[in-house]
Amino acid sequence: MADLKAAFEAAVANSKNLSERPDNGTLLKIYALYKQATAGDNTEKKPGFADMVGRAKWDAWSGFKGISGDDAMQQYIDLIESLG
């Protein structure tokens, strides 16, 4: 568990130093996996229609509902490594 947490924190740091900016779909997946790993299932109120970015983030995070924090951390690590 400690190794996974350390690898996750390293991946978070590495995500800020990617050689290229990922496309929007990938950025949403990075965001959603991070939120699922750190906060668990999305219980926030869905943003209104005027907040398109907020809705996209909310939808992306909700797509990972039910995935454990450890699984989300591992998927996040794998995704960042694939982009590096």
Whether 49 and 61 have beta carbons less than 8 Å apart is answered as no
The CATH number of 2-83 is 1.20.80.10
Question: What pLDDT does 21 receive?
Answer: 94
Q: How far is CA 2 from CA 9, 33, 38, 65, in A?
A: 11, 18, 14, 23
Question: What pLDDT does 84 receive?
Answer: 82
14-44 pLDDT, tens digit each = 999 999 999 999 999 999 999 999 999 999 9
Q: Which residue has the tokens 């996996």?
A: 33
Give the residue extent of every domain in the chain: 2-83
pTM: 0.94
